[in-house]
Amino acid sequence: MSPAISLRSDKRMKDNQSENQYQKGVKHLCENGIKKVPTKYILPISDRPNTGKPLFEETNIKLPVIDFAELQGPNRSQVLQALTNACEQYGFFQVVNHGIPTDAISSVTDVCKSFFELPFEERQKHMSTDMKAPVRYGTSFIQNKDAIYCWRDFLKLVCHPKPDDVHSDWPSLPQNLRKQVAAYSKETRNLFMLLMGAILESLGLGSAEMDIAKENNILEEFQEGSQMIVTNCYPPCPEPELTLGMPPHSDYGFLTLLLQDEVKGLQIQFQEKWLTVEPIPNAFVVNIGDHLEIFSNGRYRSVLHRVLVNQEKTRVTVASLHSLPFERVIQPSPKLISKTNPRRYKDTDFAAFLEYISACEPKKKAFLESRRLS
């Protein structure tokens, strides 16, 4: 073998070894004492957060706050108007007084943090790049397609619909993870159902006195709809100005209910600026997904958001993603289509979403744009 061929072979071996290390996740890199951000994670200058500024040195945003207790009381009409404004202007809002016990919130947060503290060999048992897997530990955003990795590890658990024995596939460690996540998923599903009832009403598709499930029996379908719990871990990053925890993106479903910890990181794009969401203890950050944008025929829009990382603290979040059943075709509600507001989106379903992102590197709202009618 010539020296030149030997050098190329050695370089390929080193590149493959490095790639294998990245596939193991950023938590694994940190556990091995990494001091600099590897090239694989460094964004182009134009995509880096706060270029030329200290991280987080920009205006925080106080999202509209929906008091869920008020939504269930005599002030429902005023709260519905506030909900309409939040969905139209921000695509995000925070929900307080939602009725989910603080013990349930702290328990699921603690057990998710404990999962990421397990030895890598234990976490690795659940590692998969199969996007259809009901249990998946992974890294980056979509690691099969990401040219540049982001500073994030995750555990995804399909909660609904599920076969009876799906919990047996969930991680057995920490010992109470299955119990805590199962209980939490039921709580968030109930909250999602009540929020969707209010959102349908705010769209003019029913009222508190009417059976709003008549809108294609959609509330009944949500009862059988999809739910996935995603817990994200963003370890301390030695050079946070060079990378992101998650790139700008929108969520694919109807609603995402996000539980933040006290560490800042979530940013939304508002009036062409990236603004940091102020955490509220025990509140849920709720955002509109692509499916709700399609269903509302563009009245309520999914909004780009991204995640910053920091040098000092690990940030762990728990997101509950909700939509209609995986096989259900999503289309604009006929009642929201008119001569002055013609149909704006093609039909879609979860299979179309998976097919799209399996073929393309995900960029911002590219999938939704592929569904848009000209």
Instruction: Tell me if the bond preceding 247 is cis, omega within 30° of 0.
Output: no
111 SS3 class: helix
On whether the CB atoms of residues 341 and 332 are closer than 8 A, the answer is no
- Ramachandran category for residue 271: left, alpha or beta (phi over 0 → left; psi -120 to 50 → alpha): left
* Residue 345: per-residue pLDDT: 95
Q: What are phi and psi of 88, to 5 degrees?
A: -80, -40
* Residue 213: per-residue pLDDT: 40
Residue 222's CB is within 10 A of a number of other CB atoms, namely: 24
On whether the CB atoms of residues 306 and 264 are closer than 8 A, the answer is no
pLDDT tens digits along 233-252: 999 999 999 999 999 999 98
For 296-328, give one letter per residue: b (16+ CB within 10 A) or e: bbebbbbbbbbbbbbeeebbbbbbbbbbbeeeb
Q: Mean pLDDT, consecutive 10-residue segments, the chain of 374 residues? A: 47 48 91 93 92 65 94 92 97 97 96 97 92 90 86 95 71 94 95 96 71 60 92 97 96 95 94 92 96 96 96 96 91 94 91 74 79 87
146 SS3 class: coil
pLDDT tens digits along 85-136: 999 999 999 999 999 999 999 999 999 999 999 999 999 999 988 877 889 9
Please count the CA atoms within 13 angstroms of the CA of 331 that sit on its side-chain side: 12
CA–CA dist 315, 297 (Å, integer):
35
Domain annotation for the chain: domains and CATH numbers? 21-371 (2.60.120.330)
> What global pTM score does this model have?
0.90
CA–CA dist 231, 372 (Å, integer):
30
* Residue 17: per-residue pLDDT: 47
> What is the amino acid identity at position 332?
P
